[in-house]
Amino acid sequence: MARPRKDTAAQRQRQRNMTEKHREEQRQRDVHLEQLKCEKEEWLRRQTELLNEVERLKMLLDDGEKQVEFLRGQIAVLREEAQEDDERVSRYRADAQKAKRELEQLRTSYGEQFSNAVTSVRKNLEIEHEKEISPLREQISKLSSFRFKKKYDQILSKNTKDQRCSELVEYVKEFVGPENTDQFILDFIHYVSAKPQFTFSLSLSDWDTFVAAIHWQLSDHFLKTFKMFLKSRLQFDVFGSRLEIQEMKKKCAPGVDYKIDIIANEKVTKTGRRVPVQSSSVGILHLEEVLSRRLSALQKSGRLRFDAATNDDILIGVAGDKGSEQTKLALIIGNVSTPNDPKGLLLIGFYSGNDDHSSLVSRLGFKSKRETERYEERVEALEEAVLMAERAGDVIEKCKSGGRGRPSRVDSCESSFALTVPLAPPCPSTPAIHCSSKCITIKRDLEDDGILLAEANEMVTELEDNLQKSSGPTRKKFEEVLRSFGVDQRVWLQEFTGNNIRKILRPQNIDAILAVFPPSRFITNIGMVMKSLAFLMTSADTAAKTDKEMDEIELHVGELVRNLRNAMPDAVVTPKLHLVAAHLVPYLRANRSWGRLTEQSIEALHALFNTLNRRFAAVRDEQLLAQLILQQMSCYNLVFDAGIQIS
C-alpha cells in the first residue's frame, strides 16, 4: 500500500517541476515581450525624432531659399546702382573732356593769361567730382563688407572671431585714439562687468567668495595677499570683500550653540614619563534649536526631500565613533540627496577619550532621562524628528552601559540558512572514558595527534607561502588580469578595498577572471555568485526602490544563496551573509530602501577632523582650537544647507 503513495508523491513533484518550468518559460516570454515593447518604443521615438529633424531641415531650407531670394534682389539693386554710378561717372568724364577741349580752345584763343584760371577750374571740377563719387564708394564698400556677414552666434571658426575682434579694436583706435586704446578697453571691461544685464563678470560675489574660502580652506592671509597680486598683475580682483567673509563666518560662531570645557589629563610618553596635557570636551547646548535652523535652511533651499522611503517623516540618525584619539557624535539628516556627506552632519559633540558609557556621561553629560525643551516648530514634523534623535541617543546609551566598549552582538536571529544534517543517535554500548589500563594508549594517541597537528600546521604554512609567493603560469596570468583593470596584487594579503571590489565585480571583469581557471561546475557557480553580488552592489544605494526593483533584488538574493550552496555546501555562514540572505528582502519590503544612513558618514568625519587638526596644528590653545573646528563645521553646514554643488 506504500507504493502508490510514493508514485503519487513523485507525480506531484513532477507536476510541481513542470509548473515551475512553465512559470520560468512564461517569465522569459514576458521578459522577451517587454524587450520587444522597449525596442518598438525606441523605434517609434527615433522615427518621431527623424520626422522632426526632416521638418526642421525643410524649414531651414525654406528660410535659406528666402534669404537667397532676398540676396539676389539686393545684388540686383546694387548692380543697378553701380550701373547708374558708372553712367554718372561717364557723364562727368565726358563733361570733363568737353571742358578740357573748351579750355584748350580758350588757351589757344586767349593765350597764357588764362592758364592759371584754367588750372583752378580743373581742380575745382575734380574736387567736386571726388566729393560726389566718395559717398558712393563708401556706400558700396559698406554694403559689401557688412551686409552679408554672418551673425556672431553662428560663427564657428576662431579665426573669424579674431578677425571681428580685430576690426572692433581698429574702430576703437579711430574712436579714442591709439594712445588711449588700452585704457579704454580696460574701462569698458569693468563697465560691462559692473552691469547686471550682462552675464560677464570679473569678480565673484561675496557669497561665492565665502563658499570658495570654505571649500578650498582659503585663509584670510591668503585672500589678502592673492587679492594684491591679482590687482598688480591683472588690474582687477576676482574675490569679494574680506570683511563680508568675516561677517559670514561670525554668524557661524559656536559660542551660542556649543559648550567647550577644557579638561586636564596626563599622558604617558614612550619613556614612561607622565606629562600634563589639556584636551577639549565639546557638547551641543540646544540640539532642538540647531536642528530646527538646519531643517529650515534645507527647506528654503529646496534640499529637503520626501519620497516613498521616508513618506512624510523626517529621517534622523545618530552616529558615534572613535577615530584617532577623539570620539565624535553627530546627527545625520536623512531627507537630503547626500545624507552621508560629512560636511552635512550636525555635530553633537566630541572629546578626547574612549567611546564607552562612562566617557559619554562624564564628557557630554548624557543622562538616562533627558528633559525636552520645546521650541517653535519651523518645519513640519520637526518635534517628532527631535524625539527620534533623542530615542536614538538613548539606544546608544543603553548599548554603552553594558560595561563593554561596544555591543558584542544583537539578539540571535530565528532565520537560518544553514543546512540541517541529522545526527546519528549515540551508541548506548559505548562506555564513558575512565581511568584504566587504556590511559597509556590514550596518552600515546594524544602525542601522535600532537605530532600530526604540528605536521598539519607546517603544511598549512607551506601552502600559504606557496599561495603568496608562487610564480606559476596560473598565478602570473591571474595577476595580469587583475592589473588589467587596476587591482593591485596586494589583494593576496586580504587588503581588498571598496574600489577593488567594485572593479572586480564588473561583468566583463568577472568573465576575465573566470577565464583564467579551467572550466568546472565549481567555477561556474562562483561566477554566478559574483554576478549576483555585482548586481546587489550596484543596487545598494540610498534611492527608494520600486516593487519591480525589489522583486529583482529578491531574485538575485535567491540565486546567490542557491549558487553558494552548490559551490560550497560545507562552508560556514557569516553574519553579513546571513543578513543579506535572510533579512535584506524583508527590510526592503518594509522600508523600500537599503537605508539612507551608513557608517561611512562618521568614518568620513574622522578624515575631515584630521584635515582640520592639521590645518590648525599651530594653535596651542585648546579652547581656540575647538572654536575654530566648530566654526569650520558650522560653515560646512551652511554651505551644505544652501545646496551649493562644487564638482
In this prediction, residue 557 carries a pLDDT of 92
In this prediction, residue 47 carries a pLDDT of 86
C-alpha cell of residue 250: 561670525
- pLDDT tens profile 30-85: 888 888 888 888 888 888 888 888 888 888 888 888 888 888 888 888 888 888 88
Nearest-5° Cα angle at 529, 526 to 530 = 90
First-to-last C-alpha distance (Å) of the chain: 77
Rounded Cα distance between 409 and 416, Å, is 16
C-alpha cell of residue 476: 602570473
- pLDDT tens profile 399-451: 444 444 443 333 445 554 444 445 445 455 444 444 445 556 666 666 666 67
CA-atom Rg of the chain in angstroms: 43
Which parts of the chain have pLDDT scores under 70? 1-7, 107, 109-115, 118, 135-149, 355-358, 362-363, 365-450, 460, 462-472, 488-497, 645-647
In this prediction, residue 559 carries a pLDDT of 92
Q: Cell 558700396 sits at which residue?
A: 140
Rounded Cα distance between 241 and 206, Å, is 6
For 241, counting Cβ atoms within 10 Å of its Cβ (0-12 exposed, 13-18 middle, 19+ buried), the class is middle
Strands (E), 9-114: none
Q: What is each CA distance from 110 to 99, 103, 106, 116, 118, in whole angstroms?
A: 15, 10, 6, 12, 11
C-alpha cell of residue 150: 554672418
Number of other residues whose CB lies within 10 A of the CB of residue 546: 11
* Amino acid at residue number 218: L
Rounded Cα distance between 42 and 44, Å, is 5
Q: Which residues contact 79 (CB under 8 A, 6 or more apart)?
A: none
In this prediction, residue 552 carries a pLDDT of 93
- pLDDT tens profile 526-544: 899 999 999 998 888 878 8
> pTM for this structure?
0.55
- pLDDT tens profile 139-173: 555 544 544 467 877 888 888 888 888 888 888 88
Round the average pLDDT of the chain to a whole number and report it: 77
Q: What is the DSSP string of 537-593?
A: HHH-SSSPPPHHHHHHHHHHHHHHHHHHHHH-TTPPPPHHHHIIIIIHHHHHHHHSS
In this prediction, residue 647 carries a pLDDT of 52
